[in-house]
Structure 1
Amino acid sequence: MEDFQSAYQEEKARLDRTLDTIDKELVRLRGIPVYTGHDYTEQVLEAGRDQQRRQLSQSGQEPYFGRLDFEEKGGTRTPLYIGKVGVGGETAQPIVIDWRAPVASLFYSFTGGDSAVYEAPEGLIEGLVYLKRNIVIRKQILERVVDTYNSEEEGPAVSDEFLLYRLGENKDNKLRDIVSTIQAEQDQIIRAGRNSALIIQGVAGSGKTTVALHRLAYLLYQYKEQISAGKMIIFAPNRMFINYISEVLPELGVGDIQQNTFSDWASNVLGLDEAPSDGPEALTEWFDHRSQNRLDDHELPGRFKGSLLFRDLLDQFVQQLEAACLPEEDFMPWDGAKLPLTTIKLWYEEEYKPYPLARRKERVLARIHRWVEMELKGAPSAAALKERKSRAAQREKAYAKKWPDLSPLPLYKAFIGAKKMQGLQLENMGAGIPKSILKVTQANLKKNIIKEEDLPALLYLFTRVDEIDGNLRFDHIVIDEAQDFSPFQIAVLDRFCKGHSFTILGDLSQGIHYYKGVREWNEMQVLFKPEETAYFALTRSYRSTMEIISFANNILRQGVGTDLLAVPVFRSADPVKVIKASGAERLPVIRRALDRIQKGPYKTAALLTRNLNDAQQLHKELSGLGYDLNLIDGRKSEYEGGISVLPVYLSKGLEFDAVMVTDVDEEYYGQQDAKLLYVGATRALHELWLLHGEKLPAYVTVDDPEIAVTAWPEN
């Protein structure tokens, strides 16, 4: 106890000195008039001062979260304080070291031992770690001091006490940063080099989304001269998820990073009036047990149109288009003047060949116009000049119309066979497309209906025939829930990305969208050279209790047949409740459970139904009984916290203090839907309920009373 009091008083005095230094520096910086002139040097200096003001203001409430006592080889023992933002001092040693700095990596990677090493710009730095201390400061008040390593004390090399303390906290309606509890395997991903495609397989609750967001903050710090926040983008599964993760980057002092869904972004690039999507109705149809078909992969539109085979067919189409695009005729601006086809072909096939097709077309037409202008100089009279100008303008316009429209949608319609392109005799590409997919796609395109599955092809045609504007190129791309992306989507995005700089993260065990996405990560890995990609597996789950993770692992083991199982952090709570409640007894049981949850300490809870119709009906019934519930139906762009009712497939990526999954019956959650139940079960942090009817799915077992029980809790 004395040691704790001594440590607390030491840190309290250090905090007071730090806050005093920050306050004085802020006063000094705020006393300097803001420069608004046009001198470039002064503008740069003002930008630096403004950044310092913002960083110090941010640091003033919670200046640091950790302390590491490190002795570099040949040096002296130095206490290093780690925070979200670095704070300089009067000496060479900063008051607070930015968590992204090289030496700060020791705070995350050190797991005990005689020595520690970190990588700095000047090479590997070796030394000794004497103390690793977690510090909780909220609103300038020192709340907690926990030593997770002390070389002078006996005990575990590195204790998980502080991690367990943070994991035990209840959730609100936003994802939060984990900068004070980043684990060694997560830090390795965060600090990986930028010019590679990182593919991260992470079990539910492994923190993969948060790790990816921290990686963005790290890349901006490490490569600040080479990349910018505005040239980064996060592709999220839906708009509500974007809102859910919206506060992590600002907490880390990072702004301006684009966050979007693939559908919305692609539609904006293509200039579509409305973004196509797998809307609530379409998803309900897919996930309703009555419409679960078992089509082969090549018969599923999303799988086929997302395949590299589909991309190869488009490549063949573009090659034919290039060969047939040029009108096979001389150009005659007026009678007696002729630009031979051989000359035009020379321009098209040789001089402008390095350019994409649309730019070649543009340059050939511009070259013809310049030739016409030169020829006009030989007009014998003003009257002849006027007549030739008029005639030439008409014939240039008519000649340009003989070229095909090279915008993506007309090209895609021609490729699918939904529309013929004037003057072009192209081989029918439909021979390589399954007839069932071809027929439906042709019918849709004739009605100008574009499906989400068509977007990769439209984008690919855009990149093949036109130049990508610099404003559309990214320095880095993050793709969340990447198991629902297709290889073709990744290949298209790579054309918009510099240096194959990707963070691709997901969980194959949560691949509930049977009709699209990937089944194995090598479907994406083959898109990159071996030296351009790296694979990481995050197997440790920090979200749920041991009981919930063990229960969910059993679903994977017996229902999915996978070895991608989660390793729990030692955090124990109540067993999973598997309660029989169907028919007339279903609603009273839900009410009883809700009342119990509301009396507890939880901030968030979820009722997960099998489909949207069930969610709407349950929300209506419970709201009529006076419960304050949020219905999540796929249309909202904001997650509001509290108690939510939603179909299980819309819960992916979210987490709640307590979760109740309804109608867990063989009829609704058969073997083919084990992944769906796994998603539902792993949304819970502290408490999980499953309600079922007469027959549970065969893969759901309650053999171990320490993991799952079938009786009501006593209190």
Structure 2
Amino acid sequence: MSTPSADPTSAPGAAPSSAGAEPPDNPLLRERAHLASSRSALRAMREDAESLNIRDVTANWVNAEVLARQIGERIKSLADLSDTPLFFGRLDYLHAPGAPAAHERGAAPEQGWESDGRFYIGRRHVHDADGDPMVVDWRAPVSQPFYRASKKDPMDVGLRRRFGYTGGDLTAYEDEHLSDPAEAATTSKLLQREIERPRVGPMRDIVATIQPEQDEIVRGDLSGTVCVQGGPGTGKTAVGLHRVAYLLYAHRERLARTGTLVIGPNRSFLHYIEQVLPALGELAAQQATVDDLVGHVEVRGRDDAAAAIVKGDARMAEVLRRALRSHVTMPTEPVVVVRGSRRWRVPAYELEVLVRELLDRDIRYGAARDALPQRIAHAVLVQMERSGEAPDDRVQDAVARNTAVKAAVKAVWPPVDPAKLVLRLLGDADFLAAHAEGLLTEDEQKTILWERPARSAKSAKWSSADAVLIDEATDLVLRTHSLGHVVLDEAQDLSPMQYRAVGRRCTTGSATVLGDLAQGTTPWATRSWAEALGHLGKADGVVEELTAGFRVPTDVITYASRLLPYIAPGLAPVASVRENPGFFDVRATADDAAGDAEVVAACEELLRNEGSTGLIAADARVPALAEALDAAGIGYLAPGEETTRETRLTLVPASLAKGLEYDYVVLDEPQAVVDGEPDERTGLRRLYVALTRAVSGLIVTHTAPLPPQLG
């Protein structure tokens, strides 16, 4: 294998970076020429899209608007990001992919096959003026060996070449001869360098560094739900996002109709990951938090942990179902329909049969209510036919709209507002007791009852858990629209009722669930993925585990893993595969004043390095540290704000650290992070999250003793 160094001019497989000094047969010169040609071809593709004239090809303004939007999205997807490599690898096949072996060849090679069997692998497809591929999309089947081929299974690939870039300039390459038994397998230096590259700004794609076990998950079939258990730095979030990109590529028409959604824990996290899919040319996937999904009411209140646990319990779904169905009453009076000089009478016992049939079907409350007038009208039509009349569908529709029928339906099956239903459950002790009997204990019922019932749904101070209950009730009335695929990240923090809310969004689709049981920091945190998948409605989902750590340095993850026996017994620790062990230090101070000064000094020290720095502290400590940073003249950002070359420090409350990453981290007062949570186990999990946000180095500062579990 040719192994480039940090200076590509000294690499065995790389030529000097000065083009003028390169001989004509230098491989790096040829690769740079192909990069320049590919960029020109991409620019031509974009110009072709921009020059399209649709004035005479659409039937009306609606079609014109739709087509114009599609063309606009196409133009955006063809953007050439100057500092992002257009291609990052090359495959030299021994035979045309899909063609017979060498001794059988005679059939025509597949389309796109070059005479030398060479395919450049990049973030998107690029073709020349004749339509021949210059860069192949990383998601195409022909690209798969770039991620999975090995010495043991070369997948008919003779050469795998990786490219190294400085900014947008191709500066190095590295070759791996998979079919050469004499060449020993070694670790890719370019791959390691890409993994360990400093992080500034939002999360970036990992298409150049996807590992075989990650690629298997990324390319999984759309019809199956997969749950990825992954410790810090294993790339589970990146795998989930790249899986979306792959599915949009492989099932574009289907997902264009049904839609895709990425769900994250908070807005800061979504802002951090929002550039990954656009960088891969995918603009269709939407992003949201669970609170966004259930935003039927304004959330202005908060529950204590005990109330939130009960409200988030899956038993509440049955309480709501019972409460809703209690609005249905059996008819006691007949329905009399007058048409002309005739009167048609449907007796009460026959109406009761119709109502019970709809209840037994257990369909949505609103759908059953819509069906009841048609059932009554059909009973009237049967009587008409028996009397010799020949009514048609128009007559049945007219009977269903009859005033007497509408009045009977309103009395028997009244409309129900989901928010008012939840309002009554939480404000009326007798109503709650009647429908929670055998499901919730008396103490649990008292826990969720409001001390002061709200007068109306608009004036109520709804909590996040209340909003989820309203969403459940809304679905009981009218079915929630299902998407084609949903990615749920940081899933370990969801309650059973929140899982149900997400599951309603993919009842006819599939899901990718991402999380780490050791990082669950809510009182209702997920206990097992099998249980979570059951609440999601995807009990047949497959659980995959990622244990290779590509982000967190060895010394840091080893230190953090001391907490695993206390927060997730039996969970395998992450094994860092980084060659760079990283920087790690624990610094004790004598008092609070010295502690704040040490924090500021540690931030100044780490900011001398390239990359981003995060100062993570217990939420209660953030104001004091902000004051200390201001006094020292150090600028800083809030989570979710994009780091720049000028401002690379982010002050992060521990409660918002999950899912974020920084090149360097200063962790202030670990015991304060633990004490900031309602119980020790949750606090230790929060500390585990905070300890594992660093990519290159971690400094832990403390005045109070460290938690004994770190001993």
Alpha-carbon distance in structure 1 between the residues aligned to 2:13 and 2:602: 44
* 1:402-432, Cα deviation, whole Å (9 max, x unpaired): 64442222333455572778xxx99442442
Residue in structure 2 matched with residue 589 of structure 1 by the alignment = 598
Q: 1:59 touches 1:85 (CA, 8 Å); kept in 2?
A: no
Q: 1:113 touches 1:157 (CA, 8 Å); kept in 2?
A: no
Would you say 1:306 and 2:312 are equivalent positions? yes
Alpha-carbon distance in structure 2 between the residues aligned to 1:569 and 1:171: 18
Q: 2:39 touches 2:80 (CA, 8 Å); kept in 1?
A: no
Q: 2:372 aligns with which of 360, 364, 387?
A: 364
Residue in structure 2 matched with residue 206 of structure 1 by the alignment = 234
Q: 1:205 touches 1:544 (CA, 8 Å); kept in 2?
A: yes
* 1:161-188, Cα deviation, whole Å (9 max, x unpaired): 1221112222123111111111111111
CA gap 1:616/1:394 in 2 versus in 1, 3 angstroms? farther
Would you say 1:523 and 2:528 are equivalent positions? no
Would you say 1:554 and 2:566 are equivalent positions? no
* 1:191-213, Cα deviation, whole Å (9 max, x unpaired): 00111221110111111111111
> Pairwise CA RMSD of aligned residues?
3.9
Alpha-carbon distance in structure 1 between the residues aligned to 2:211 and 2:28: 25
* Alpha-carbon distance, 1:253 to partner: 0.7
Give the letter for the 2:598 counterpart: V
* TM-score w.r.t. length of structure 2: 0.79
* Alpha-carbon distance, 1:679 to partner: 0.7
Q: 1:88 aligns with which of 127, 134, 137?
A: 127
What is the SS of the residue equivalent to 1:196? coil
Would you say 1:649 and 2:655 are equivalent positions? yes
Q: 1:437 aligns with which of 424, 436, 444?
A: 444
Give the letter for the 1:162 counterpart: L
Residue in structure 2 matched with residue 616 of structure 1 by the alignment = 623
Would you say 1:342 and 2:362 are equivalent positions? no
* 1:504-554, Cα deviation, whole Å (9 max, x unpaired): 0100110121x1231211212445899831111011111121211221222
Alpha-carbon distance in structure 1 between the residues aligned to 2:410 and 2:118: 72
The percentage of aligned residue pairs carrying the same residue is 24
* Alpha-carbon distance, 1:649 to partner: 2.1
* TM-score w.r.t. length of structure 1: 0.79
Residue in structure 2 matched with residue 450 of structure 1 by the alignment = 462
Q: 1:461 aligns with which of 461, 473, 497?
A: 473
Q: 1:484 touches 1:518 (CA, 8 Å); kept in 2?
A: yes
Alpha-carbon distance in structure 2 between the residues aligned to 1:240 and 1:225: 31
Q: 2:204 touches 2:276 (CA, 8 Å); kept in 1?
A: yes
Alpha-carbon distance in structure 2 between the residues aligned to 1:629 and 1:27: 41
Q: 1:303 touches 1:517 (CA, 8 Å); kept in 2?
A: no
Alpha-carbon distance in structure 1 between the residues aligned to 2:27 and 2:526: 51
Alpha-carbon distance in structure 2 between the residues aligned to 1:394 and 1:520: 53
Give the letter for the 1:12 counterpart: R
* Alpha-carbon distance, 1:486 to partner: 2.6
* 1:443-494, Cα deviation, whole Å (9 max, x unpaired): 16822333222344332322223233xxx32111111100011333323433
* 1:281-302, Cα deviation, whole Å (9 max, x unpaired): x7xx87xxxxxxxxxxxxx444
Residue in structure 1 matched with residue 333 of structure 2 by the alignment = 329
Q: How does 1:131-530 map to 2 (within 5 A)?
A: 131-136=159-164, 141-149=169-177, 151-152=179-180, 155-157=183-185, 159-228=187-256, 231-267=259-295, 271-272=296-297, 274-275=298-299, 300-317=306-323, 321=326, 324-331=328-335, 339-350=346-357, 355-365=363-373, 400=410, 403-415=413-425, 418=428, 427-443=434-450, 446-447=453-454, 448-468=460-480, 472-513=481-522, 515-527=523-535
Segments of structure 1 that go 5 or more residues without pairing to the other structure are 117-127, 287-299, 376-391, 702-715
* Alpha-carbon distance, 1:106 to partner: 0.9
What is the SS of the residue equivalent to 2:29? helix
Residue in structure 2 matched with residue 711 of structure 1 by the alignment = none
Give the letter for the 2:315 counterpart: L
Segments of structure 2 that go 5 or more residues without pairing to the other structure are 1-10, 16-25, 96-100, 106-114, 384-401, 455-459
What is the SS of the residue equivalent to 1:228? helix
Give the letter for the 1:66 counterpart: G
Alpha-carbon distance in structure 2 between the residues aligned to 1:444 and 1:477: 38
Alpha-carbon distance in structure 2 between the residues aligned to 1:420 and 1:409: 18
Give the letter for the 1:571 counterpart: E
Q: 2:664 aligns with which of 658, 663, 677?
A: 658
Give the letter for the 1:144 counterpart: A
Q: 1:413 touches 1:419 (CA, 8 Å); kept in 2?
A: no
* Alpha-carbon distance, 1:35 to partner: 4.4
Q: 2:687 aligns with which of 659, 674, 677?
A: 677
What is the SS of the residue equivalent to 1:680? helix
* Alpha-carbon distance, 1:565 to partner: 0.6
Alpha-carbon distance in structure 2 between the residues aligned to 1:235 and 1:29: 32
Give the letter for the 1:67 counterpart: R
* Alpha-carbon distance, 1:607 to partner: 1.8
* Alpha-carbon distance, 1:244 to partner: 1.0
* Alpha-carbon distance, 1:562 to partner: 4.0
* 1:232-285, Cα deviation, whole Å (9 max, x unpaired): 111110111111111011101111322111112111xxx32x14686xxx7xx8
Residue in structure 2 matched with residue 18 of structure 1 by the alignment = 38
CA gap 1:163/1:308 in 2 versus in 1, 3 angstroms? same
* 1:610-642, Cα deviation, whole Å (9 max, x unpaired): 2x221122212321332212345xxxx645563
Give the letter for the 1:223 counterpart: H
Residue in structure 2 matched with residue 708 of structure 1 by the alignment = none
Alpha-carbon distance in structure 2 between the residues aligned to 1:46 and 1:543: 41
Give the letter for the 1:98 counterpart: D
CA gap 1:114/1:251 in 2 versus in 1, 3 angstroms? closer
Alpha-carbon distance in structure 1 between the residues aligned to 2:562 and 2:261: 36
Alpha-carbon distance in structure 2 between the residues aligned to 1:309 and 1:63: 51
Alpha-carbon distance in structure 1 between the residues aligned to 2:513 and 2:126: 32
Alpha-carbon distance in structure 1 between the residues aligned to 2:554 and 2:512: 29
Report the number of matched residues: 637
What is the SS of the residue equivalent to 1:201? strand
Give the letter for the 2:626 counterpart: H
Give the letter for the 1:476 counterpart: H
Residue in structure 2 matched with residue 296 of structure 1 by the alignment = none
Alpha-carbon distance in structure 1 between the residues aligned to 2:673 and 2:279: 44
* Alpha-carbon distance, 1:309 to partner: 3.4
* Alpha-carbon distance, 1:434 to partner: 3.2
Alpha-carbon distance in structure 1 between the residues aligned to 2:692 and 2:201: 17
Q: 2:13 touches 2:172 (CA, 8 Å); kept in 1?
A: no
* 1:123-182, Cα deviation, whole Å (9 max, x unpaired): xxxxx2111111245776323322255545955425331221112222123111111111
Give the letter for the 2:610 counterpart: P
Alpha-carbon distance in structure 2 between the residues aligned to 1:539 and 1:352: 49
CA gap 1:3/1:482 in 2 versus in 1, 3 angstroms? closer
Residue in structure 1 matched with residue 551 of structure 2 by the alignment = 543
What is the SS of the residue equivalent to 1:260? strand
Q: 1:456 touches 1:489 (CA, 8 Å); kept in 2?
A: yes
CA gap 1:22/1:579 in 2 versus in 1, 3 angstroms? closer
